[in-house]
Amino acid sequence: MKILNPATGTLLREIPETSAPDIKAKLDRAVLAQSAWKKTTMEDRLKCIKNFHDLLEKERETLARDLTLEVGKPIQESNNELSGARNRIRFFLEQSQTTLAPNPVRTDGGMQEIITHDPLGVIANISAWNYPYLVGVNVFIPALLAGNAVLYKPSEFATLTGLHIERLLHESGVPKDLFTAVIGGAQAGEELLKLPLHGYFFTGSYKTGRLIAEKVAGKLVPIGLELGGKDPLYVTDEVSELKKTANAVVEGCFYNNGQSCCAVERVYVHARVYDEFIRHFKDETLALRAGDPTDRSFQQGSLTRPSQISFLEAQIEDAVKKGAKILAGGKRIPGPGAFFEPTALIDVNHSMNVMREESFGPIIGIMRVKDDEEAIGLMNDTDYGLTAAVYSTNMERAKSILARVDSGTAYVNCCDRVSPYLPWAGRKNSGLGATLSTLGILAFTKPRGWHLRG
């Protein structure tokens, strides 16, 4: 497998893919490793994961550099991602012991009722490239803490990072056969689906997530799907600090080049503040500079997958043909790398692909709305349901709007953020199940109800 730098098109490394027999052998060894691991104490597991947390900091420079080289994100964003991953790991270190402890729920006469949580066994973690550390730790850290083994398939676009994760977990004390990387693309992923694993946890596109759900359905094992989004944001008419709001929304749209599951993908603005908001939005967008992601003076790096450029061009062409106007950007940046101008489109509507398909790139459509009812209708007019945001100085109004939007995450006066204390749970085509929060720890266990008559 060739690992290419998307910002230059140059070859970084060639790495052999894991063959089907090797994947099977990894599973066989993982089964044995898991039966020993589930007997270890929580203190021992926590110690290993704390070591991993510390190693991410110790090796930060190398890890951030390799992440930037293989996915094209600005070096400061790679550093932010590592800090964010460590923050999530601290949450799991803090919460796992109490969440996984036996829970005596009721004593009734001579009967004691207790809930305990057993590990699932060996799980597959099929992962994405856009935040490989963040979306990875959401799964493999609580899975390991709960007593599972993990066959971890990093995305083929984040293989170097996947191998760093495997190496650092082993250096941290996690047994070699308990956590192993399966290297490759769709084919390696499909091999995992054929094997008798005890759970499938996937982060990626709706298309692949659905295919995985269909293929493993007959196994009747837990699946977790963290999929895409077409996340809406509504600016109400009471917002007075429109420059500040536009600045925050621009960041929500274009951070990581829009390649975030929770990136803002549609903006609705109340007609009363529309003109001023658009003026600021344009200025803020034009201020973003794209270039060499290892150079800290650029805010925008390269897209990770060069093939995404033609997808973005097609969305723009479709929108312009149907009447949209380009407010800023609109085209790829010439050169060897996969660079694209941060692009804002106005006069858009829901007949255009840019308002319906996940763009997963630096493109945003902005639409004027006459009132909250119209905004709510449009926000819900989507197959996805990951996040939704409202900017307003009236908390009650913002909350009542969001209560009517079908999304797993609701933001008031913020967007494009994740907290480890809250569940990350997509609705509709955005996914199934939850990661993070205590729910995202229990997701890697099966419950047992104890009826103990003394």
Minimum CB distance to ligand NAD smaller for 129 or for 444: 129
What is the contact mask toward ligand NAD in residues 215 to 234, using x (rule: CB under 6 A)? -----------xxxx-----
Pick the catalytic residue: 70, 77, 81, 261? 261
Q: Can you tell me the distance from the alpha carbon of 220 to that of 441, in angstroms, rounded to the nearest whole number?
A: 20
Using rule CB under 6 A, residue 142 touches ligand NAD: no
Stretch that binds ligand NAD, among 19-27, 201-209, 317-325, 363-371 (CB under 6 A): 201-209
Could you say which of 226, 265, 341, 358 is catalytic?
Answer: 226
Region binding ligand NAD by CB under 6 A among candidate stretches 91-99, 186-194, 266-274, 306-314 = 186-194
| Sequence-ordered alpha helix ranges (H) in 132-184 | 132-145, 159-171
Q: Please identify, using beta-carbon distances, which residue of 18 and 172 lies nearer to ligand NAD.
A: 18
* Cβ at position 421, least distance to ligand NAD in Å: 16
φ and ψ of 25, to 5 deg: -65, -40
Q: Does residue 261 carry a catalytic annotation?
A: yes
CB 383 to ligand NAD: min, Å: 12
What is the distance between the alpha carbons of residues 7 and 12, in angstroms, rounded to a whole number? Answer: 11
Place of tokens 């990951």: 386
Identify which of 224, 268, 298 has the alpha carbon closest to the alpha carbon of residue 389.
268
Report how many residues bind ligand NAD under the rule CB under 6 A.
Answer: 31
Sign of the Cα pseudo-torsion (232, 237, 242, 245, in order): negative
- Per-residue binding letters, 251-280, with ligand NAD (x by CB under 6 A): ----------x-------------------
Widest distance between CA atoms in the chain: 77
CB of 336 to ligand NAD, least distance (A): 22
User: What does DSSP assign to residue 200?
Assistant: E
Which residue's beta carbon is nearest to the bound ligand NAD? 189
Q: Write out the binding residues for ligand NAD, residues 333-392 only, by CB under 6 A.
A: 358, 360, 386
Smallest gap, in angstroms, from Cβ of residue 135 to ligand NAD? 5
Q: How far is CA 109 from CA 104, 167, 402, 450, 451, in A?
A: 14, 52, 46, 15, 12
SS3 content of the chain, % helix, strand, coil (to 5): 45, 20, 35
Structure tokens at 326: 């380009």
Distance, first Cα to last Cα, the chain: 60
- Burial class for 44, CB neighbours closer than 10 Å (0-12, 13-18, 19+): exposed
Least gap, CB of 224 to ligand NAD (angstroms): 10
Sign, CA torsion 289/291/295/299: positive
9 within 8 A of 336, measured Cβ to Cβ:
yes
Indicate the residue among 48 and 165 with the shorter CB distance to ligand NAD. Answer: 165
**Which CB atom, from 37 or from 157, has the smaller least distance to ligand NAD?**
157
CB of 208 to ligand NAD, least distance (A): 3
Q: Shortest gap between Cβ of 291 and ligand NAD (angstroms)?
A: 24
Phi, psi of 295 (to 5 degrees): -100, 115
**Complex with ligand NAD: residue 282 or 356, whichever CB lies closer:** 356
Q: Which stretch binds ligand NAD (CB under 6 A): 96-104, 187-195, 235-243, 278-286?
A: 187-195
Backbone angles phi and psi of 154, in degrees to 5: -65, 160
Q: Which of 441, 372, 434 is nearest to 119 (CA)?
A: 441
Q: Does 155 bind ligand NAD (CB under 6 A)?
A: yes
Whether 262 is a known active-site residue: answer no
Positions touching ligand NAD (CB under 6 A) are 126-130, 135, 153, 155-156, 185-186, 189-190, 193, 203-205, 208, 211-212, 226-229, 261, 358, 360, 386, 424, 426, 431
Catalytic residue ranges: 226, 261
